[in-house]
Structure formats: C-alpha cells, structure tokens
Amino acid sequence: MVVLAPGADEPVTVAGSGGEVWDLLDRPRSAEELVSELSRRFAADPGTIRADVVALLAELVDAGALEEVPPAGT
C-alpha cells in the first residue's frame, strides 16, 4: 500500500501487516490498542508487534500521513 500525505512530495510505502495497521486507524487508537488487536488477530508476540507498530506510526507521523492526538480528557 502507498500513502501520500497531504502536501507531500513523496509517498510512504506501507508493506506487510502495515496495511492492517492502516485499516485499524479508521478511528483514533493508541499504539497499545493496535498492538493488542494485531496480537489477537495474528496470534503473535506483542513485543515483536509493538516494535513494528511504533516504528510504522513514527514513519507515518514524520511523513505527515498521521497526526498524533492527545488521549481523551487530557
């Protein structure tokens, strides 16, 4: 999957389970919510998933494709 952020010159390529992460971001979710859901879906180790999810989220935020929002009530 390729994501092009508004105003960006270069797209971000999202490979592998990154597409699942993107689909789960149909509403705001924390990294831990994403890890929990992916761990359940793929019966995989949360520690391994966490490292990949955090890296992908950072890349998407840096590219301007995602925006971090504070948790509700803060």
Q: Please tell me the pTM assigned to this model.
A: 0.85
Structural domain harbouring 57: 17-63
Is the residue at 6 inside a domain? no
Is the residue at 49 inside a domain? yes
DSSP for 21-70, written as a single string:
HHHHTTS---HHHHHHHHHHHHT--HHHHHHHHHHHHHHHHHHTS----P
Domain count, the chain: 1
Helix, strand, or coil here: 30?
A: coil
Mean pLDDT of 34-63: 93
- Look at residue 16 in the predicted model and tell me its pLDDT: 83
- Look at residue 15 in the predicted model and tell me its pLDDT: 85
